[in-house]
Structure formats: structure tokens, C-alpha cells
Amino acid sequence: MTASGSAETPAAKGESALGEEDRARADLYAVLARLYYGAPDRALLASLARHENLFGGGDAPLGTAWRALSRRARDAAPEPLTLEYDALFVGTGKAEITLYCSYYLAQTGRERIVVALRDELRELGLGRTGASHEPEDHLAALCEVMRHLVSRGSASYALECQKGFFLRYIANAYIPLTDAMLASAAAGFYQDVAQVTRAFFEIESRSFEMV
């Protein structure tokens, strides 16, 4: 992992020039994207477990949540976590918890949110790859977009792009989504993922208020 908690993968093109804070943000968005796309494999669990104190040893919410996730990863195995992920987010017929953020943003007219999101992604030069089958409002996809936007740096225009995207598609969705995860009897590992998600997104929300 890097200083932010991502899996040990090469930095994306252009990210080498990022400051430490932005690299940390981009990497944590990447970790969350991976965890929400599917259950972690053995390599990711090992990487999470090795970096228990990545966010320090104090009592700040993100550090506390991260240490709990790291400890859970140390004793976890991929097979039970695949069952947990499927029970929570896939299900048979209807999933217990949806990861599609438009569900939390509007009671009706969710299709319009997804259409607007697609148009925005097109303007950003981003699009669906051949290997992707999830709608664009899936939380994992939104985290990947945020990782991309953070990787573009922290100039005023770049920060405004990050802020706008986060406020439109994530800010009003993450609390009810993580509430559902924390309340689920089927969640164990993913309760810790929810805590990390919530702590990180609360930091992002407060930071964007100052932009």
C-alpha cells in the first residue's frame, strides 16, 4: 500500500506529481472502489492487514475505522467475504442494500440522474469499459471517478470539479447507504468498510465546504 491505503498497484499516469494529501485521497478512493466492486481477494486482505496504523494511532474517526478494518482483514478469508458481499449487495431477486447512489438521491426520476451522470462523464472524457457492466451510479464507479478527478491535482478548477461531482452524486447518498450497511445483520467486514467510508466522506464533505 501507499501512504493512503490503496492496494499495491502502480500509480496512474499523472499521479506521480500529486502532493501527499491528494495521493492519499486518490488511493483511498481506489481502495473503496475495489471493495465496493466485489469482495476482497487474499492479496487485498493481506495488504489491508499489513497497514493497521496507516492513518495514525490516535482516536480520529478515520484512523479508528481503518484500524478496525485492518484487524478484521487480518483474520478474514475471501470465501466468507464473497458470501457476505453477495448477501448484502447481490442477493437473489433483490439485494438487501443497493450500491446505486441514485436510489438515495431521489424517490422518483432516478433515470434522469443516471442520464445526467453519463453526460457529465462523457464531458470528462470518461466512459464505460468493455469489462464493466455496472450502471454509472454504482458507488464503486463514483469512487473511481473521484480518484480520477483527485489525480488531476488541486488547482482551483480541479477542486471545483471534485466538489461538484461529490456533491451531486455522493454527498447525499453515503449516509443512508452506510446506515443500511451498519444496521444489517448480514454485515461484518462490510460494517468496517462502511465506517471507513463514512469517516472519509465526512472529511471530504468538510473540506469541500471550504472550497
Whole-angstrom CA distances from 113 to 33, 55, 173 are 20, 34, 13
As beta bridge partners, residue 138 has 100
CA 112/CA 108 separation, integer angstroms: 9
Residues near 76 by beta carbon (within 8 Å), at least 6 away in sequence: 40, 45, 189
Closest CA to 198 of 5, 21, 64: 64
Contact of 204 with 98, CB cutoff 8 Å: no
Residue 70 dihedral angles phi and psi, to the nearest 5° = -60, -45
pTM as predicted: 0.88
User: What would the grid cell of residue 115 be?
Assistant: 442520464
Domain-wise residue ranges, the chain:
15-209
What topology does CATH give the domain 15-209? TorD-like (1.10.3480)
Q: How crowded is residue 157: how many other Cβ atoms within 10 Å of its Cβ? A: 9
> What is the dihedral sign for C-alpha 105, 4, 33, 42?
negative
Contact of 135 with 115, CB cutoff 8 Å: no
pLDDT in tens, the chain (211 residues): 443 333 333 344 444 468 999 999 999 999 999 999 999 999 999 999 999 988 887 889 999 999 999 999 999 999 999 999 999 999 877 899 999 999 999 888 899 999 999 999 999 988 766 565 678 999 999 999 999 999 999 899 999 999 999 999 999 999 999 999 999 999 999 999 999 999 999 999 999 999 8
Q: Give the residue carrying C-alpha cell 492519499.
A: 24
